[in-house]
Structure formats: C-alpha cells, structure tokens
Amino acid sequence: MVTNVTSLLKTVKAVEDEHTRGTRALESAIEAIAQEIRAFDSPSEPIGGRAEPEDLVRVTRPITIATAKAVSAGKSCKQEDVIVAANMGRKAVSDMLNTCKVRAALFFLSLSRFSQGFFFLFNAPLVFPVRELPL
C-alpha cells in the first residue's frame, strides 16, 4: 500500500510539473525583461556597435511575431506553445531595448559633437536690434 501511495504522489508531482512549465517559462521571461529594462535605464554603455534607423524598424518584426505566438498559445493552451512564446517575447524585447539604447547613445554622441562645433563656430553673442513698438 505504501508503494502505491508513493507511486501516486510521484505521478501527481510529474503531472503538476508538466502543467507548470508554461507558467515558469512566463515568470522567467517576465523577470528577464525586467532585468533588461533595468539595464536599459542604467548609465552603462550599450552592447553592440552601430544601429541604423532601419535597425529600429527591423527589431519590431520579432515583437510582432512573438505577439502572434502568444495569441496562438493562448488559444491552443499547450505548454510548449506558451514556452516558445515566452522565449520569443523575451528575446525580441531584449533585442529591441539594446538596439534602442545603441541608437540613442549614437544620437546623443552626434548631438554633443554637433553642439560643440556649433558653439565654436558661433561663440560670438547674438545681438538683435531692439525697437520700441508703438502703443
């Protein structure tokens, strides 16, 4: 009798683990995205070399695909589909945040270089003629 109960408990545990795989995958993806957002907000240098404006458009495609996978997983209720959707979403958001950070860093770098050159070119004070307006 004890072996039957032990066997039943092991079976229940295995079934429970199988049914929580998708939930664990979603929780892990949420935590990974939260960590990526914290890295995005940090003043650290972004990972990667250059990001062109077209790259920002390019990284939105995986977001769209991951969203479609999530909708499909919600309809199918299969654990494997939920795991795939969670992993695709995590990767897509991570890539998008990194590309945005690289592009923003390049933009601010070029803006600071432009403003320094602009200052040295036009460091003379601007004087506008002031005239009185009739009342």
106 CB contacts (<8 Å, ≥6 apart)? 50, 51
Assigned domain for 36 exists: yes
Instruction: Give me the tens of pLDDT residue by residue for the chain, a chain 135 residues long.
Output: 556 777 767 777 777 777 788 888 989 999 999 999 998 888 777 666 677 778 888 999 999 999 999 999 999 988 899 999 999 999 999 999 988 888 887 777 776 665 555 544 445 444 444 455 555
Flag whether the pTM goes above 0.85: no
pLDDT at 75: 94
Assigned domain for 68 exists: yes
How many domains are there within the chain? 1
Assigned domain for 119 exists: no
> What CATH number is given to the structural domain containing 70?
1.20.1420.10
Place of tokens 């770098």: 109
Q: Is 125 exposed, middle or buried (0-12, 13-18, 19+ CB in 10 A)?
A: exposed
Assigned domain for 38 exists: yes
The helix (H) or strand (E) run that includes residue 88 is: helix 79-121
Assigned domain for 43 exists: yes
Contact 84, 73 (CB under 8 A): yes
Which of 90, 116, 79 has its CA nearest to residue 31?
90
Assigned domain for 129 exists: no
Residues 56 and 96: their CA atoms lie apart, in Å, by 7
Residues 104 and 110: their CA atoms lie apart, in Å, by 10
Assigned domain for 122 exists: no
Assigned domain for 106 exists: yes
Structural domain boundaries, residue 82: 2-114
